[in-house]
């Protein structure tokens, strides 16, 4: 179990050297921060769309080598099923990959670090924190 799972938007802010977000990251022990394998997939997809962006490739690759990437597992799948059913029942929704990331954070008992307000409507089980403030 970790403490903070960074969502894709937060990782993008780190890669772009957002001063407030990088300050929060620097204050965290390295082993207290992780990302979902889903976030890693989104980052790699972004690179695949921009093969000419060499600097970006270096930054993302370096980041991925230094952060713990948690594998998607059956606990995350079970969490996803419950979260998605609950959201549908409440009439709320998230983009498909965001729902997977939220479920992964819940399954691993991590706080999801995000500035995306949509996550705040998922469930009381999902704990979020915004590092942009």
**pLDDT score for 70:** 97
**pLDDT score for 30:** 87
- Tens-digit pLDDT string for the chain (133 aa): 569 999 999 999 999 999 999 999 999 998 999 999 999 999 999 999 999 999 999 999 999 999 999 999 999 999 999 999 999 998 888 999 999 999 999 999 999 999 998 898 787 789 999 999 8
**pLDDT score for 1:** 54
**pLDDT score for 2:** 65
Please report the domains of the chain, with CATH numbers, ordered by start residue: 4-129 (3.40.50.1010)
For residue 99, the Cα-to-chain-centroid distance in whole angstroms is: 10
| Contact between 68 and 2 (Cβ < 8 Å) | yes
């Amino acid at each position: 179990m970790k403490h903070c799972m960074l969502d894709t938007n937060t990782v993008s802010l780190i890669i772009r050297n957002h001063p407030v977000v990088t300050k929060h990251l620097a204050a965290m022990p390295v082993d207290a921060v992780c990302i979902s394998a889903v976030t890693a997939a989104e980052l790699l997809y972004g690179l695949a769309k921009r093969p000419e962006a060499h600097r970006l490739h270096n930054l993302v690759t370096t980041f991925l080598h230094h952060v713990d990437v948690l594998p998607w597992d059956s606990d995350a799948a079970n969490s996803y099923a419950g979260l998605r059913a609950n959201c549908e029942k409440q009439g709320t929704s998230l983009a498909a990959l965001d729902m997977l990331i939220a479920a992964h954070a819940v399954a691993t008992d991590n706080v999801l670090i995000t500035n995306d307000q949509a996550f705040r409507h998922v469930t009381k089980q999902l704990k979020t924190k915004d590092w942009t403030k």
